[in-house]
Amino acid sequence: MDDLLRGLRAAAEPTRLRLLTVCAHSELTVTELTQILAQSQPRISRHLKLLVEADLLDRFREGTNAFYRLAAAGPMSELARVLVDSIPEADETLARDLARLDTIRAARAEQASAYFRKNADHWDKLRSLYVDDREVEAAILSLIEGREIRDHLDIGTGTGRILSLLAPHTRRGIGLDQSREMLAVARANLDGTGLSQCAVRHGDLYQLPWPAGAFDLVTAHQVLHYLEDPGEALREAARVLRPGGLLVVADFAPHDVEDLRAEHAHRRLGFSDADISRWFVRSGLEAGAVRKLPGHPLTVALWTAERPAADMDAGVDLSAAPVARGGKPVLQ
């Protein structure tokens, strides 16, 4: 009861209700929120602090910015959603706030478009080397068919496309990437879809900022070939899988297109089934089906693995820290 009263007291103020509402539609910085509510930064920051302390909003850092979003988990997240849904859609103040939010979303979309225009030739050339993305996406959807997925993590999320693709089949989707430019693109793309259950985060895929067993599904779409240590990335992805959870890796089969190293920063020229299977086993996973989608000259492979459901019954410790990379300890 104490937590409920604390949440109600935190929300019982006009500005804070407005903040909850706009943060239910998009994740926003303090600067963006000051523009939407037309109030000073110190005032907005003070209200945000109270809402975060009451667990009605989530706060996360991305470089020098802090983003705010309606709480995604916990009992207070349910209260936050009830409060937001209780505000009449015809409320004039809310209508003005959402109109300003649309302006900010449009600016994000334009920035994303500019980024793509700048890099269009780069990506078009790469895409011409393998099968149509729609065929790859259909194959990914077929791999999760019939599974109950509450929480999905997409590592190296890029544009956020896999988050959007799988959102209708999941309760919550989170995309993680180290590139702030790509996160800006992903955030703009998600804004345009209205997928409020999806969010993106800045972080290191070798040290995922979630506890063990946090996700039912982890995807790694066209990311391993950029990595110095793909096996260690898969080991960390396996750590956050729940027992019975599924890991899906989509990447290139072995090839000899050397230009991809210099022109597209690829560290690896594809992966063999044996390499991926070995990494799966080392990570405590059971390797599953492999599907190949031949292209010219690149073949896209989809590898799957599961965290054994028996791990839960056997009391296996899923929280072990990642092993060292390159002989150096991995900091937590």
The whole-number pLDDT of residue 55 equals: 93
Task: Count helices and strands (H / E) in the chain.
Answer: 13, 10
CATH code where residue 70 lies: 1.10.10.10
Could you tell me which residues come within 8 angstroms of residue 239 by beta carbon, excluding any fewer than 6 positions away? Answer: 208, 212, 283, 318, 319, 320, 322
Whether residue 109 is contained in a domain is answered as: no
- Do 148 and 270 lie in one domain? The reply is yes
- Do 137 and 57 lie in one domain? The reply is no
- Do 12 and 154 lie in one domain? The reply is no
Mean pLDDT value across residues 5-19? 91
- Do 152 and 221 lie in one domain? The reply is yes
The whole-number pLDDT of residue 282 equals: 94
- Do 72 and 221 lie in one domain? The reply is no
CA angle 30, 198, 76 (to 5 degrees): 70
Mean pLDDT value across residues 40-57? 94
Whether residue 165 is contained in a domain is answered as: yes
The whole-number pLDDT of residue 122 equals: 67
In tens, the pLDDT along 238-295 reads 999 999 999 999 999 999 998 888 788 888 899 999 999 999 999 999 999 899 999 9
Range of the domain at 81: 2-100
Q: Supply the mean pLDDT for the chain.
A: 87
Number of compact structural domains in the chain? 2
Domain end, chosen from 100, 121, 137, is at: 100
Sheet containing 198-202: order of strands: 198-202, 170-177, 149-155, 215-221, 241-252, 300-306, 286-293
- Do 207 and 292 lie in one domain? The reply is yes
The whole-number pLDDT of residue 4 equals: 83
Whether residue 323 is contained in a domain is answered as: no
pLDDT at 328 over 50: no
Whether residue 238 is contained in a domain is answered as: yes
- Do 260 and 166 lie in one domain? The reply is yes
- Amino acid symbol at 86: S
**Residue 123: pLDDT band by 50, 70, 90 thresholds?**
low
CATH code where residue 216 lies: 3.40.50.150
Could you tell me which residues come within 8 angstroms of residue 192 by beta carbon, excluding any fewer than 6 positions away? Answer: 105, 109
Q: What are phi and psi of 219, to 5 degrees?
A: -120, 145
- Do 29 and 69 lie in one domain? The reply is yes
- Do 93 and 134 lie in one domain? The reply is no
- Do 31 and 139 lie in one domain? The reply is no
The whole-number pLDDT of residue 116 equals: 55
Distance, CA of 33 to CA of 38 (rounded, Å) = 8
In tens, the pLDDT along 131-171 reads 999 999 999 999 999 999 999 999 999 889 999 999 999 99
Whether residue 114 is contained in a domain is answered as: no
pLDDT at 324 over 70: no
- Amino acid symbol at 259: D
Q: Which of 280, 285, 276 is nearest to 310 (CA)?
A: 285
Whether residue 231 is contained in a domain is answered as: yes
DSSP state of 328: B
- Do 74 and 202 lie in one domain? The reply is no
- Do 166 and 299 lie in one domain? The reply is yes
Q: Which of 160, 188, 164, 190 is nearest to 176 (CA)?
A: 160
Whether residue 185 is contained in a domain is answered as: yes
Whether residue 329 is contained in a domain is answered as: no
